Structure 1
Amino acid sequence: MTTVRDVTRDLLRSLGLTTIFGNPGTTEIGFLRGFPEDFRYVLGLQESICVAMADGYAHAGGRAVLVNLHSAGGVGHGLGHVFTAYRNNTPMIVLAGQQVRSLLPGEPFLGALDAPSFPRPYVKWAVEPARAQDVPGAIARAYHVATQPPFGPVFVSVPADDWDAEADPLPVRPAIPGFGPDPSALAELVSALTAATNPVLVVGPGVDAEGAIPDVVELAERVRAGVWASPMSWRSSFPEDHPQFLGFLPPEERGTVEALHGHDLVVVLGAPVFLYHVYRGSSDRTLPALFLVSDDEQVLARARVGVGIRSGVRAAIRALADSLTEPSRPVPAGRTRRPRPPESVPITAEWVFATMADELAEDVLLVEEIPSHLLVRREYLPVRAKRTGLLSTGGGALGYGLPAAVGAALGAPDRKVVAVLGDGSSMYSIQALWTAAREHLPVTFVIVDNAQYAAVDILAGPENGKMPGVELGGIDFTGLAASMGCHTHRVEHPHELKSALTSALADDRPTVVHVHVDPNPTVLY
C-alpha cells in the first residue's frame, strides 16, 4: 500500500525539500517514522530557532525550505519568526503536527483549535486538509504558493494519523515562473529616465532576492544615477563600497524626503515606498516624481505616491537596461565615509567594524542583528558581495541573527558565514550554537556586548532618562558557547581583536568572538 507518507516524501524529493528543520514532538512521529537516508533533519532546541534557521537556509541557498513544528504549542513558539519570514518574503512551508482526527471533536491534549487561523495573517496560505488523502496535494499547493512572487511562508496542519492512510501518487508540476513588466508601463518609465536630469535609484531586498545586484549595478552605471538603499532593508542589494552608492535612507518619513530632495526622479526597485520605524514629524517638501517596481500587489497598492509597475524586479531591470541609451549627464558621486576610528579603551563599536572590514573577504555572507550598532556597521563595514552579502530581519522579532547564520551556513556551504550580533539579540536564541556545533559548521559569531538593550535608550532619547529593563551586564558568552561545543575568544582590549578574528575566520569549527565594547551607544545620525 502506498501511504500519504510515501507520496509526500516522493513529492518533497521532487521539490528539493529534503532538508527539514524542526524540533520533534509526538504529533510528528507519523511524518518522521522510517526517516529516509537521503533526507536531512536539522534539530533546533526551540521552535523559533528552527524557523529562523530555515529562513537563513532559504535565503542563503536561494531555495524553498520546509520546517516541521509541533502542534499548537510549537507553532506558537515559532510564530515570532514566521512573522519574520513573512516580512523577509521567505519561501517557507511550515508543516505542523496535529492530534489524530478522531480526538479533535473533544479538544484533546496537543490539539490545535482552528489550526489554519493560528499563523494568520503572517502566512500567504494556510490549510488543514479535509481528508488524509488530500495532504500531499495540499503540500504541493503550499509549495507553489510559497514560491510564487511575492515569496512568503505558508502553513499546512496535518493530523498525526493521516500519514498512514492510503493515497494515490501525485503528478509532479514544474515551478511557476515569474513575470515581466507591462510594455506600456515600462515605456513610460523609460521616457521619464531619459528626460530626467538628476535621477536616483532606491534599491530594496527584492533586488538581491532575485540575484539581480549585477543587473542593477549595470543599470545605475548606464543611467548615471546615484543609488540609495531602502529603509529597514533586510538584504544588501547594491555594493556598499560602489562609488555611486549614497547610503541607506533613514527609517522615517521626514529624513527620507529630505535625502531625496534635489532629485527630479526616483525609481524604487524591489522595496516598499517606504518602510519606516519612527515618526519625527513631516517635511515641508514632497517626494520627487516616483516609479515603484515590485512583484507584490500589496506593496504597490499601499504606496501613497508614484506610478506602480508590477513585475519581477530582475525582469524589469533588464528590460530597462535594454531600452535605455547612456545619457550625457555626469556620473554622480556617492557617499563620503568617515575616517577610520582610532584605537581606544574601552573598545568602540566603530573600531570593531573597521577591524572586521580589514579581515572579511569580499564574498563573505554577513548576518547581522545589532539594533544599537546598525548605523555604525553601515558606516565602517560595507557589504560588498554581489549576491546574498547580507541577511537581516525585516520584521523586528529579535533572536533572528544567530540561528539564521546557522541556517545560512547549511544553505550555502561554499560561503564563509559571519554573524555580527548584539548581546541582547544573542540571548533570544543562544541555543542555536548547539546546532552549529552539532552540524560542524564553520560560522564565526561576533557578539558585540554593550551590556544592555541600548536601542531602547537610543529611541527613547535622553529627555526620558534611563529606561527600566535594559541592563544586561555580566553574561559570559564564551562560557555559554563552550558549553554547547563551540570554540571561543574573549576580546577586552583593542589589540586582541584582529588576532581573534583571524583565528576564528580560519577555524573550521563554529567560533564565538565575544567583544566587550563601550556601553555608551554611538548615534551617527
Structure 2
Amino acid sequence: MSTDTEATIAPAGRRRSGGQALVDALTLHGVDVVFGIPGTHNLPVYAALGGAGIRHVLTRHEQGAGYAADGYARVSGKPGVVITTTGPAILNAAAAAAQAYSDSVPVLFIAPGLPLHHPSAGNGYLHEVKDQFRAMDSIVGHAQRVTTVEEIPLAVAQCFAAMTSARPRPAYLEIPLDLLDLEATTALVPPYEGRPARPNAESIQAAAQLLDAAEHPLLIVGGGASGAADEVRELAEALQAPVITTANGKGVLPETHPLSLGAGVHHPTVKQLVAASDVVVAVGTELAPSDWWWGPISQQSTVIRIDIDPTSAATNISPAVALVGDAAETISSLLTGLRTAGRTDGRESAAQWRRLLRQDAAREGGAYLELCAALDAALDDSALIAADSAMACYYGALSNLPLHRPRSFLYPTGVGTLGYGLPAAIGAKIAAPQRKVVALLGDGGVMFTIAELAAAAQAGLAVPVVIVDNGGYGEIRNEMADRGDTVHAVDLASPDFAALARSLGCHGVSLESATLLADAVGAALNADRPTLIHLRVSGRETESA
C-alpha cells in the first residue's frame, strides 16, 4: 500500500486483454488466493489466472465461494476475492455478499456482465437476468461496472480502496463479457488507501475526562476492534475495566485475561452489568439487536463510542462522546490523555461478574458444555472456530468455549445465514494453514453447503467438521412451539453423514455422545484430509438449526 511519504510507481502500460488486465491488477494488489467456479463467460479470466501464480480454490457452489472468501478475509485481515460467471452464478453468491456486508468483511465479488451493447430490454442471452448490476449494488458497500478495458485496473484499485480505507465492506466489480477477450493498452494502477478520519483533540479530551471520573467503567468490544487487540488490553488494564465482547469481537482480549468476561452480550447479567457501569466504552460494535437479544442499551447510559464509521457511531444509541477513527489509533490517543494512577484493582469485580455470566452461559448452553469442554481439550490458544448459525454455536460455543485471539470465532451475525461454517472453515484454513480450524454446524444448516466437503477434500485440508444433529431446524421448531403453533415442516431425516463425507473424499465418523469428541477432533486435526464428525443429540435445548 502507498503511504503519505512513499508512493508506488505504476507499471508502464502494455497490451492486455480485459481478463489479463483484471488478473494483473489483482496480483499488484497482493491477491494470492481466489475462490470461484469457471463458466462460459469468464473463461478469459481463467486463461489469465492459469499463469499468474494465484491459487484458485474450486468450490462446488458460488455461495460456498463467497463464504470461503469471507472466512479467508476474517482470518488473514486481507480482502477475499470471489470470481463467478454471469447471472445465476453471481446471484448464487449474493447471500454471501449480504453476510459480508452485515459483518463488515472485505470481500471482492467479480463477475462478467452482459455485453456493452446488449439490448436494454433484453433478448434472452445466456445467463441473462433483468439487472445483475443493480441486484449486487443493493447488497454491497461499493459496486461499479467498467465500460472499457483501460478502466479495469483503476476499477480494481478503487474497489480495494473502498474495502480497506474505512469500514470494511464487500465490493462488486462487473466487467462486460465482451471486454474480457478484447485487447487494449492498459497501465496498472498501484494500490492506495485513504487515511480514515481521526477524532479531534476536543473529543479525545472529553472522553478522557469522563473516564477519569468513572469508578465503574466497562468495555464492550466488537469485531471492529479485531486489529486493536493490544490497545484494547492496554485500555482495559489502564482503566481496570472488565471487558465483554460480541460474537465477532470474541478473542480480541484473550478469554483467560483476568479482566475478560468472555463473549455474549445477550445474557441477562449483561443488563445488570451495563446498569452498574457509570461509563461504557463501546469499541467497534454497532450495539446491534442481533447481538443484544434483550434489547438496546438504555439511553440513560453514558456511552463513549469508538468506531471507524461515523454513521454507526450514533446508531442504536446516541453516545455522550463519539470518537470516529481507527480503533487502534484512537485508543492510543485516548490512553495518552488518561490519568490511571489510583485506580482500584478491577480483577475481583471482574471475577464476580464473570461468575454470574458463566452461570448464564451454562444455563443457556447446558446441553453443549460437554461438547465445548471436548473442543477446548483438543485445541490450543491459536485455534479458531468457523461456526454456523446453529444453537450449538450461539448457545454453546459463543459463551462456553474460550478463545484467545481476534478473529478466532467466525460467525454469521446480523444476516444470520445458514451454511456459512463449512466453507468459512475452508477459507480460514487456507489463510492460516498452521492454525487449528474446526467447523461447527447443525444438521440443517450444513446441508446448505454440504457439497463443499468435496472442495475441502480436494484442497487436502485437515479440518474437523463437527455436525451436531438433532434431526431438524431446532430453533424454528422451538419458536413454533413457543407461539402455540402446530409444529411442522422442521423435521429432517438426516443422511448417513459419515458415509456421505467418505463419498466426497473425506474421512467420516459417527459418535453417539461427546465423550469421545476430543479424541476424534485431535485425530482429525492430524489427518490427511477433512474429517466429518457426526454427533447425535436430542432434547429441546439442543435442537440445532
Alpha-carbon separation, structure 2, partners of 1:140 and 1:470: 46
Question: Which residue of 472, 484, 491 corresponds with 1:464?
Answer: 484
Alpha-carbon separation, structure 2, partners of 1:112 and 1:156: 17
Question: Which residue of 293, 296, 302 corresponds with 2:315?
Answer: 302
Q: Aligned pair count?
A: 512
1:81-230 superposed matches below 5 A? 81-105=96-120, 106-107=122-123, 108-163=125-180, 164-208=182-226, 210=227, 212-230=228-246
Alpha-carbon separation, structure 2, partners of 1:206 and 1:194: 24
Question: Could you tell me how far 1:432 is from its partner in structure 2?
Answer: 1.1
Question: Is 2:304 the counterpart of 1:288?
Answer: no
Aligned match of 1:73 = 88
Alpha-carbon separation, structure 2, partners of 1:370 and 1:128: 33
Contact 1:370–1:420 (Cα < 8 Å) also in 2: no
**CA separation of 1:227 and 1:339: change in aligned 2, threshold 3 A:** closer
Contact 1:369–1:400 (Cα < 8 Å) also in 2: yes
**CA separation of 1:95 and 1:454: change in aligned 2, threshold 3 A:** same
Contact 1:220–1:227 (Cα < 8 Å) also in 2: yes
Question: Could you tell me how far 1:359 is from its partner in structure 2?
Answer: 1.7
For structure 2, the residue ranges without an aligned partner over 5 or more in a row are 1-14
Contact 2:513–2:537 (Cα < 8 Å) also in 1: no
Q: SS at 2:158's partner residue?
A: helix
Q: SS at 2:444's partner residue?
A: helix
Contact 1:204–1:229 (Cα < 8 Å) also in 2: yes
Alpha-carbon separation, structure 2, partners of 1:319 and 1:313: 10
Question: Is 2:424 the counterpart of 1:404?
Answer: yes
**CA separation of 1:460 and 1:300: change in aligned 2, threshold 3 A:** farther
What amino acid sits opposite 1:261 in the alignment?
A: A
Question: Could you tell me how far 1:199 is from its partner in structure 2?
Answer: 0.7
Aligned match of 2:454 = 434
Question: Could you tell me how far 1:260 is from its partner in structure 2?
Answer: 0.8
Contact 1:249–1:255 (Cα < 8 Å) also in 2: no
Q: SS at 1:297's partner residue?
A: coil
- Higher mean alpha-carbon deviation, 510-519 vs 330-339, is at 330-339
What amino acid sits opposite 2:205 in the alignment?
A: A
Question: Is 2:368 the counterpart of 1:349?
Answer: yes
What amino acid sits opposite 1:445 in the alignment?
A: V
What amino acid sits opposite 1:434 in the alignment?
A: A
Alpha-carbon separation, structure 2, partners of 1:205 and 1:461: 34
TM-score by length of 2: 0.87
Alpha-carbon separation, structure 2, partners of 1:86 and 1:282: 21
Question: Which residue of 371, 376, 390 corresponds with 2:390?
Answer: 371
Q: SS at 1:202's partner residue?
A: strand
Question: Could you tell me how far 1:464 is from its partner in structure 2?
Answer: 2.1
Alpha-carbon separation, structure 1, partners of 2:237 and 2:478: 37
Question: Is 2:404 the counterpart of 1:389?
Answer: no
- Higher mean alpha-carbon deviation, 388-397 vs 398-407, is at 388-397
Question: Could you tell me how far 1:339 is from its partner in structure 2?
Answer: 12
Alpha-carbon separation, structure 2, partners of 1:112 and 1:517: 43
CA offsets 1:384-420 (integer angstroms, 9 cap, x no match): 2x23221111221111111000011111122111111
1:239-254 superposed matches below 5 A? 239-251=254-266
Question: Could you tell me how far 1:281 is from its partner in structure 2?
Answer: 7.3
**CA separation of 1:255 and 1:113: change in aligned 2, threshold 3 A:** farther
Alpha-carbon separation, structure 2, partners of 1:186 and 1:447: 47
Contact 1:451–1:472 (Cα < 8 Å) also in 2: yes
Contact 2:514–2:535 (Cα < 8 Å) also in 1: no
What amino acid sits opposite 1:390 in the alignment?
A: F
Question: Could you tell me how far 1:234 is from its partner in structure 2?
Answer: 6.5
Alpha-carbon separation, structure 1, partners of 2:371 and 2:210: 43
Question: Is 2:64 the counterpart of 1:58?
Answer: no
Alpha-carbon separation, structure 2, partners of 1:410 and 1:319: 35
Question: Could you tell me how far 1:361 is from its partner in structure 2?
Answer: 0.7
Question: Which residue of 2, 22, 43 corresponds with 1:29?
Answer: 43
Alpha-carbon separation, structure 2, partners of 1:416 and 1:330: 35
Q: SS at 2:540's partner residue?
A: coil
- Higher mean alpha-carbon deviation, 263-272 vs 138-147, is at 138-147
1:410-429 superposed matches below 5 A? 410-429=430-449
Q: CA RMSD in A?
A: 2.6
What amino acid sits opposite 2:34 in the alignment?
A: I
Question: Could you tell me how far 1:485 is from its partner in structure 2?
Answer: 0.7
**CA separation of 1:428 and 1:234: change in aligned 2, threshold 3 A:** farther
Contact 2:389–2:411 (Cα < 8 Å) also in 1: no
**CA separation of 1:70 and 1:340: change in aligned 2, threshold 3 A:** closer
**CA separation of 1:103 and 1:497: change in aligned 2, threshold 3 A:** same
Contact 1:104–1:111 (Cα < 8 Å) also in 2: no
Q: SS at 2:104's partner residue?
A: coil
**CA separation of 1:279 and 1:172: change in aligned 2, threshold 3 A:** closer
- Higher mean alpha-carbon deviation, 196-205 vs 88-97, is at 88-97
Alpha-carbon separation, structure 2, partners of 1:340 and 1:287: 27
**CA separation of 1:377 and 1:438: change in aligned 2, threshold 3 A:** same
**CA separation of 1:2 and 1:339: change in aligned 2, threshold 3 A:** closer
What amino acid sits opposite 1:206 in the alignment?
A: G
- Higher mean alpha-carbon deviation, 434-443 vs 128-137, is at 128-137
Contact 1:338–1:379 (Cα < 8 Å) also in 2: no
TM-score by length of 1: 0.90
CA offsets 1:424-456 (integer angstroms, 9 cap, x no match): 121111111111111111111111112221122
1:2-13 superposed matches below 5 A? 2-13=16-27
Alpha-carbon separation, structure 2, partners of 1:124 and 1:380: 34
Q: SS at 2:538's partner residue?
A: coil
**CA separation of 1:340 and 1:188: change in aligned 2, threshold 3 A:** closer
Question: Could you tell me how far 1:518 is from its partner in structure 2?
Answer: 2.3
**CA separation of 1:213 and 1:7: change in aligned 2, threshold 3 A:** same
